[in-house]
Amino acid sequence: MTPAALVLEDGRVFRGEAFGAVGSTLGEVVFCTAMTGYQETLTDPSYHGQIVVATAPQIGNTGWNDEDDESRKIHVAGYVVRDPARIPSNWRSRRSLNDELTDQGIVGIAGVDTRTITRHIREQGAMRAGIFAGDAVTDVDTMVQAVRDSPKMKGADLSGAVSTDETYVVPANGERRFKVAALDLGIKFNTPRMMAQRGIETHVMPVGSTLDDLLAVEPDGVFLANGPGDPETQAHAIALTQQVLERRIPLFGICFGNQILGRALGMGTYKMTYGHRGINVPVIEAATGRVAITSQNHGFALEGEVGQKLDTPYGAAEVSHYCPNDGTVEGLRCVDVPAFSVQYHPEAAAGPHDAAPLFDQFVTLMDEA
Amino acid sequence: MPKRTDIQHVLVIGSGPIVIGQACEFDYSGTQACRVLREEGLRVSLVNSNPATIMTDPEFADATYIEPITPEFVEQVIAKERPDAILATLGGQTALNTAVALHERGVLEKYDVELIGADIDAIQRGEDRQKFKDIVAQIGGETPRSRVCHSMDEVRETVAELGLPVVIRPSFTMGGLGSGMAHTPDELERMASFGLAESPVTEVLIEESVLGWKEYELELMRDRHDNVVVVCSIENIDPMGVHTGDSVTVAPAMTLTDREYQHMRDVGIDVLRAVGVDTGGCNIQFAIHPDNGRMVVIEMNPRVSRSSALASKATGFPIAKIAAKLAIGYTLDEITNDITGETPASFEPTLDYVVVKVPRFAFEKFPGADKTLTTTMKSVGEAMSLGRNFTEALGKALRSMETKAAGFWTTPDPDGATLESTLEQLKTGHDGRLYTVERALRLGATVEQVHDASGIDPWFVDQILSLVELRSEILDAAVLDEPLLRRAKRAGLSDRQVAALRPELAGEDGVRALRHRLGIRPVFKTVDTCAAEFAAKTPYHYSAYESDPAAETEVAPQREKPKVLILGSGPNRIGQGIEFDYSCVHAAMALRADEYETVMVNCNPETVSTDYDTSDRLYFEPLTFEDVLEVVHSEQESGTVAGVIVQLGGQTPLGLAQRLADAGVPIVGTPPAAINLAEDRGAFGDVLTAAGLPAPRYGTATSYEGAKEIADEIGYPVLVRPSYVLGGRGMEIVYDDSTLADYIARATEVSPEHPVLVDRFLDDAIEIDVDALCDGDEIFIGGVMEHIEEAGIHSGDSSCALPPITLGRTDLENVRRSTEAIAKGVGVRGLLNVQYALKDDQLYVLEANPRASRTVPFVSKATAVPLAKAAARIMLGATIKELRDEGMLPPSGDGGELPSDAAVAVKEAVLPFHRFRTPEGQGVDSLLGPEMKSTGEVMGIDTSFGKAFAKSQTASYGSLPTSGRIFVSVANRDKRAMIFPVKRLADLGFEIVATQGTAEVLRRNGIPCSEVPKHFEAPTGSVRNAVSVILDGEVVMVINTPYGNSGPRVDGYEIRTAAVARDIPCVTTIQGAAAAVQGIEALIRGEISVRPLQALQAALKAQTGSTT
């Protein structure tokens, strides 16, 4: 057994054993309450820079299934689990989670009391942390200092780190009905896949793309992807969004994209205490009262409350969705321009498919434009 | 959408007696429903024939009808109550079938009653197999290929297409009754014809085999706004082929990728919507092919089910409670999650622990029954446990079973077990299959070999392999140091298991001492529905071992109120069922009201006691000494423990009393030494002698020679049994030396610590059961019950009447005097149950149990006195006088002197014989004896014995006949007593058929009858024997008493089995026949009506001058 320690910036230390790669890693420690889909979680670019604590205790049971990656690599900074599987078991599994983490150099820790850690984060908020495994385990003061020297998530601009360097195209399944320019703030594989199922050809474009780059694609719609970091740092994406709104190009944003649209409309954002990370989060659509169980992964949110009407340079807008757990803004809808966004993940992966019809709404918006 | 305003009055239908496939989970769900509906200001009427339920306590409904759950009786209730709506989705298959019958008879329309929850169309779409398959196909899902058949010809045709093996599933039966897998043409013929007979609509589904596929269940909820949530996923460790009620199951699903799980969720939701369950819960089963992921939908229950109860306890999301709210119009987002107190119920619970359920079987009660697990449910109960990983939860569940084996390595391997024989054994489902998996791995099998043999997913097999490897480490370690012991505990091993591997530690106590010295104790985590995302308001805890010595325990300090721990009764099994849970729940209610902090400890997910609402705190824990001691420690750390109650949960907690007391735990109520006094025959004999009370002569023996010496001295027949048993386990009446020798040979554990008791058996005595309270000074007789069958039938299996119907005043006075002498002689503080036999005007004491008995709920309901509540108060120091003064007990008098015009209550046992078959497909014997075999009971209550008895029969197995042909064949000794009842039946217009000897006696007494040969007499020509006549359905009732005073009571087996197969009343005692005659007369006069318990109890209280 190789020793490992999870060290938090407030000085708490949880000792366990190494899992995955040995060494050290730093990041913001957050917890995810999903019981399935660890592979999708690990490869979700929105987790970039974060050390993820899995609240589900038995992790790795179905091994690594290559079709289930949500991006080209594991993005989490570190992984904290209680009981990793000794062997993987699934007819599609190619290798074990432990092997994959090791191959990709992801430092993890196992055997810790993940519930205590989760309760601590819930009460104290997400904070900086480090996992130190093997020889990296040193005296507590040194480790805590290393954590305190690491950058904070508030004010972090991480889009560049996860965005594609060059535009790539995901063709539509069957006949192409629409072209969508998707701004890659940390997009997951399943998003273009679900758009493709609806006849959309997706041009996934670097975060630094200009309006001209976008227009060059002659898009029927623009998509703002999910992604990591503080939305306040995204001046470029926000300005780009405003230009798209001015041109009345149908626009759909998810997660980080919801925050970008909100800021483009003049709303503020804030860092939540511990965020929403799980696949069981209820969202209510204000107009119908219907509940969707959604997949979520965000540590920042829009300021505002349900039913709030906004008077923006692009006409009226409203808060269209909210989370009944805590009242968080979960969606926006512009009344006068064809734009809407949600704070959650209609592409799921991992998570329930309740929100998939949002892609159909995007199609309708493009149809009507 | 707020509550509907057009519903003011709801009739809730319960599930009736506890039977295999339908246990107290429906008391839990029904109790929740009643509570919710009343909180919402609705009038609630309730029908349920089971007196041992909490839901039939008068305070849970406005009008409680303890009446048979048949369309006829429920119609009477509807006519009287005129409810706006009926809620039938929380009462199991019984309630659902009754609702369908009411619809078909036009009753719902006639009285303009709406079915809420699921309407008739939805019920039929969910339950009708073909309609259901069509729906699954419509939404793009798959089901196993199959065909619905209504005759054996159709069955044969279908199998010609699908090939064997096939699964046979009768429509509209519960717990999978009559279903199974046919591998051969012979099996097909037998099983399909049985299935056709069992199905009320003569319909079976013949289906492609998905044997060996992985099996899953989803619990879903839908509201009238079409919001749907999945409450829980459950994975069966036993693959397809074993009924889910008989499988070891795990929540959440352990071996699904998110893709597979979400596909299952999508299909589940689409099915739920297409079936059209408007509001409430449903359960859908799936199978997944392990090699290619192909998923098929197996079935759906459009109602709350056993799995819903499990899912509720596993997640903290109270499905039944929420289903009741949804049924009256609320939507999920309008209902608050009790556990967090802030977030809404419109979410999906997420778990940060693993839940394991293990079924409890009772094959030892049914010699000859086929023990192979199939798609017909055979288990009688279950235990659930929670742990922070799979092995921890599994270990806790295995040691919760109250069986000889309490986890791996606690019993020796079977003689001669080899790797090959063990792998062979794994091929079919059997009780204890995971023990077999462990043994195979220990004998050198690979994970793959075990998976191939059993179909169990390799991940689970590997988890068990991890325990096998840990075992080697523990065996090989030079010393059991802190890290290794901590790992062992974290993997779920009990102190007893560790002790078995390390003999030098001097047993479980030694391991515990070492563990405590090393500071290794469990922490207590919380079931909070949300994996700690939100703070939990409800203290629902389970223990876990963490690696971190400083791991956090979540039990909040509470120092204001003294705490009382109530130890529950563990998994249901024959002899220990819902009745004990009833008493535990009552204790919690009474002590909560008396300003104690009540703490429940139990591991049975079906019960009301494990509802987080019942007590102030709930520990979902095994009831072993180790686990209970840690709970006590946790509670002592967080406040002051005033006492632990062990006498309400049956034998399980009672068996812990002495050890707990020795460990310094304060036991309240009857002290452990007094409990011992009652159970130790010698000491108890001294108590009787001192009080001048006679008991049947007896002796204890540790060998055949000793037993024979005693038998010779006191004379045959004798009753033999092991000491310290509940439910008459291993008890037999023995008539001669050779049977005695045989018994001793079979009783493998005869030793000086476990002697065999040999009692004189009192033939033809009247058995009397008494429940009483004693505060150390005064006694209060709760009720005196007269058994209808003679002594020798286990009290749990006999029907009985209260007030006693034939006992004279002097007998009753004698009973009171004797009970008082015993209560004081033993030193009872709380409840006492005494069984007497009255023979030749002499009252003999058979046994005394200083604990809550099985009859406490029945007596409480019949006499309107909450005995268990009073007992709990007495245990904490209240006196009978104080309880009389405050109104919990009547101001004067007691249950021993009920007014002569008090209503008569009859308790009848419900027996599971028709669920068991021998491996050859024959029925098992339905004869009653001293060993208890019933799973549940019903109560019939009315103004006279005949009416009450008729109701009890209707409620337990269908109505007594009012016309037709009755078959009579009785033992010589019963022939004289038989004449009057049979003559009365003939006078009432029944046609009598009898065997030769019986017929001769009847004719001599002027009773016309025809004659049939006995079953072993070869039929001649066209003459059929008794068995064929019964099997052909030409008989409406059987009266058959066992032959001979001198032989074993096994004759007539074929006749009784035939009656069970035809589901007709089968009376096996002459006293039972006389009672049946009274019942039949009442039925023929048509004077049986319904009356709510509240009215009956008010009348009784008025008669006795009680104020409450």
Average pLDDT over residues A166-193: 98
Q: CA of B1069 to nearest chain A CA: how many angstroms apart?
A: 57
pLDDT at B428: 94
Is A345 tagged catalytic? yes
**CATH number of the domain enclosing A294:** 3.40.50.880
**CATH number of the domain enclosing A20:** 3.50.30.20
Contact A281 B342 (CB under 8 A): no
B138: exposed, middle or buried (Cβ count in 10 Å: 0-12, 13-18, 19+):
exposed
Asked whether residue B301 is marked as a ligand-binding residue, the answer is yes
d(C-alpha B991, C-alpha B1001), whole Å = 16
Contact of A193 with chain B, judged by CB distance below 8 Å, is answered with no
Q: Count other Cβ atoms within 10 Å, centred on residue A369.
A: 12
**CATH number of the domain enclosing B936:** 3.40.50.1380
Residue A154, in any domain of the structure = no
B171 and B202, same domain (yes or no): yes
B34-47 pLDDT, tens digit per residue, is 999 999 999 999 99
The residue of chain A nearest to residue B483, with distances taken between CA atoms, is A1
Q: Which domain holds residue B362?
A: 357-520
Amino acid at A364: T
pLDDT at B1047: 39
Number of CB pairs, chain A paired with chain B, less than 8 A apart: 178
A58 and A142, same domain (yes or no): yes
A258 and A116, same domain (yes or no): no
Measured between beta carbons, the chain A residues lying within 8 angstroms of B218 are none
Q: CA of B520 to nearest chain A CA: how many angstroms apart?
A: 15
Residue with tokens 């037709």: B964
A301 and A224, same domain (yes or no): yes
- pLDDT bin (cut points 50, 70, 90) of residue B1045 is very low
Measured between beta carbons, the chain A residues lying within 8 angstroms of B230 are 293, 352
d(C-alpha A263, C-alpha A332), whole Å = 11
Contact of A351 with chain B, judged by CB distance below 8 Å, is answered with yes
The mean of the pLDDT values for chain A is 97
B982 and B926, same domain (yes or no): yes
Q: To which H or E segment does residue B554 belong? A: none
Measured between beta carbons, the chain B residues lying within 8 angstroms of A90 are 255, 257
The residue from A255, A276, A298, A323 that is catalytic is A255
Asked whether residue B601 is marked as a ligand-binding residue, the answer is no
B574 and B652, same domain (yes or no): yes
Residue A329 · residue A303 · CB < 8 Å = yes
The residue of chain B nearest to residue A279, with distances taken between CA atoms, is B348
A294 and A343, same domain (yes or no): yes
Residue B985, in any domain of the structure = yes
Contact B262 A36 (CB under 8 A): yes
Q: Looking at the whole model, is its pTM more than 0.90?
A: yes
Query: For the ranges A99-108, B593-602, B788-797, B1073-1082, which has the lowest average pLDDT?
Result: B788-797
B514 and B547, same domain (yes or no): no
Contact B548 A324 (CB under 8 A): no
Asked whether residue A359 is marked as a ligand-binding residue, the answer is no
pLDDT over threshold 70, residue B724? no
- pLDDT bin (cut points 50, 70, 90) of residue B1105 is low
Residue A66, in any domain of the structure = yes
Contact B342 A325 (CB under 8 A): yes
Bridge partners (DSSP) of residue A4 are A16, A133
* Angle, CA B1093 vertex, CA B1089 and CA B1096 arms, to 5°: 80
Contact B459 A122 (CB under 8 A): no
**CATH number of the domain enclosing B191:** 3.30.1490.20
- Among the partner-chain residues A33, A82, A113, the one whose CB lies closest to the CB of B530 is A33
Task: Examine the fold and report which residue of A91, A126, A148 is the final residue of a domain before the chain moves on.
Answer: A148
Average pLDDT over residues B379-398: 97
Three-state SS annotation for B486-518 = HHHHHCCCCHHHHHHHCHHHCHHHHHHHHHHHC
Residues written for chain B: 1108
**CATH number of the domain enclosing B590:** 3.40.50.20
B481 and B394, same domain (yes or no): yes
Residue B314 · residue B246 · CB < 8 Å = no
pLDDT over threshold 70, residue B1059? yes
A11 and A38, same domain (yes or no): yes
A163 and A142, same domain (yes or no): no
Q: Which of A17, A19, A61 to mutate to test the interface with B (most CBs of B within 10 A)?
A: A61
A265 and A344, same domain (yes or no): yes
d(C-alpha B997, C-alpha B1018), whole Å = 16
pLDDT over threshold 70, residue B787? yes
pLDDT over threshold 70, residue B750? no
A231 and A313, same domain (yes or no): yes
pLDDT at B1062: 81
pLDDT over threshold 50, residue B1044? no
d(C-alpha B49, C-alpha B14), whole Å = 8
Asked whether residue B792 is marked as a ligand-binding residue, the answer is yes
Q: CA of A216 to nearest chain B CA: how many angstroms apart?
A: 36
Q: Which domain holds residue A81?
A: 3-148
In sign, the C-alpha dihedral spanning A342, A343, A346, A352 is negative
Residue A39, in any domain of the structure = yes
pLDDT at B759: 86
Contact of A55 with chain B, judged by CB distance below 8 Å, is answered with yes
Q: Which of B223, B232, B258, B262 to mutate to test the interface with A (most CBs of A within 10 A)?
A: B258
Q: Which of A89, A276, A277 to mutate to test the interface with B (most CBs of B within 10 A)?
A: A89
Residue A228, in any domain of the structure = yes
Residue B85, in any domain of the structure = yes
Measured between beta carbons, the chain A residues lying within 8 angstroms of B226 are 290
Q: Residue B723 — φ and ψ, nearest 5°?
A: -75, 165
B416 and B508, same domain (yes or no): yes
Bridge partners (DSSP) of residue B487 are none
Residue B498, in any domain of the structure = yes
- Among the partner-chain residues B333, B462, B547, the one whose CB lies closest to the CB of A86 is B462
Question: Tokens in use for B909?
Answer: 């046992």
Q: CA of A247 to nearest chain B CA: how many angstroms apart?
A: 37
Contact of B556 with chain A, judged by CB distance below 8 Å, is answered with no
**CATH number of the domain enclosing B403:** 1.10.1030.10
B852-876 pLDDT, tens digit per residue, is 999 999 999 999 999 999 999 999 9
Q: Which of B223, B256, B257 to mutate to test the interface with A (most CBs of A within 10 A)?
A: B257
Contact of A100 with chain B, judged by CB distance below 8 Å, is answered with no
Is A347 tagged catalytic? yes
Asked whether residue B847 is marked as a ligand-binding residue, the answer is yes
Bridge partners (DSSP) of residue B757 are B700, B721
A244 and A343, same domain (yes or no): yes
Tell how far CA B1094 is from the center of its chain: 26
B100 and B66, same domain (yes or no): yes
CB-based contacts of B985: which residues, under 8 Å, 6+ apart? B966, B992, B1077, B1080
pLDDT over threshold 50, residue B1046? no
The residue of chain A nearest to residue B457, with distances taken between CA atoms, is A89
A185 and A73, same domain (yes or no): no
d(C-alpha B370, C-alpha B387), whole Å = 33
Question: Tokens in use for B1057?
Answer: 């089995």
B595 and B488, same domain (yes or no): no
Contact of A273 with chain B, judged by CB distance below 8 Å, is answered with no
B841: exposed, middle or buried (Cβ count in 10 Å: 0-12, 13-18, 19+):
exposed
Contact B459 A68 (CB under 8 A): no
Residue B641, in any domain of the structure = yes
Contact B290 A349 (CB under 8 A): no
The residue of chain A nearest to residue B388, with distances taken between CA atoms, is A57
B974-1021 pLDDT, tens digit per residue, is 889 999 999 999 999 999 999 988 999 999 999 999 998 876 665 556
Task: Examine the fold and report which residue of A98, A126, A148 is the final residue of a domain before the chain moves on.
Answer: A148
pLDDT over threshold 70, residue B728? no
* Angle, CA A124 vertex, CA A118 and CA A130 arms, to 5°: 65
The mean of the pLDDT values for chain B is 91
Average pLDDT over residues B234-262: 97
Residue B82, in any domain of the structure = yes
Residue B359 · residue B604 · CB < 8 Å = no
Contact A56 B350 (CB under 8 A): yes
pLDDT over threshold 60, residue B88? yes
pLDDT at B789: 81
B493-533 pLDDT, tens digit per residue, is 999 999 999 999 999 999 999 999 999 999 999 999 999 99
Contact B256 A36 (CB under 8 A): yes
Contact B257 A112 (CB under 8 A): no
Given phi > 0 = left and psi -120 to 50 = alpha, else beta, which region is B380? alpha
B367 and B508, same domain (yes or no): yes
pLDDT at B372: 93
The candidate with the shortest Cα–Cα distance to B800, out of B772, B845, B769, is: B769
Contact A33 B343 (CB under 8 A): no
Q: Residue B778 — φ and ψ, nearest 5°?
A: -115, 155
The residue of chain B nearest to residue A41, with distances taken between CA atoms, is B258
Q: Is the peptide bond before B252 cis (omega within 30 degrees of 0)?
A: yes
Residue B747, in any domain of the structure = yes
A131 and A236, same domain (yes or no): no
pLDDT over threshold 60, residue B163? yes
Asked whether residue B176 is marked as a ligand-binding residue, the answer is yes
Number of domains into which chain B is organized: 6
pLDDT at B727: 54
Measured between beta carbons, the chain B residues lying within 8 angstroms of A34 are 258, 350
Q: Is the peptide bond before B165 cis (omega within 30 degrees of 0)?
A: yes
d(C-alpha B585, C-alpha B595), whole Å = 16
Task: Examine the fold and report which residue of A123, A148, A173 is the final residue of a domain before the chain moves on.
Answer: A148
- Among the partner-chain residues B1, B293, B552, the one whose CB lies closest to the CB of A119 is B552
B567-614 pLDDT, tens digit per residue, is 999 999 988 889 999 999 999 999 999 999 999 999 999 999 999 999
B957 and B1063, same domain (yes or no): yes
Contact of A3 with chain B, judged by CB distance below 8 Å, is answered with no
- Chain A from 28 to 47: CB within 8 A of any B CB: 31, 33-37, 39-40
Question: Tokens in use for B1072?
Answer: 């039972």
B369 and B490, same domain (yes or no): yes
Residue B375, in any domain of the structure = yes
A126 and A49, same domain (yes or no): yes
B446 and B507, same domain (yes or no): yes
pLDDT over threshold 80, residue B754? no
Three-state SS annotation for B908-966 = EEECCHHHCECCCCCECCCCCCCCCCCCEEEEEEECCHHHHHHHHHHHHHCCCCCCCEE
Number of domains into which chain A is organized: 2
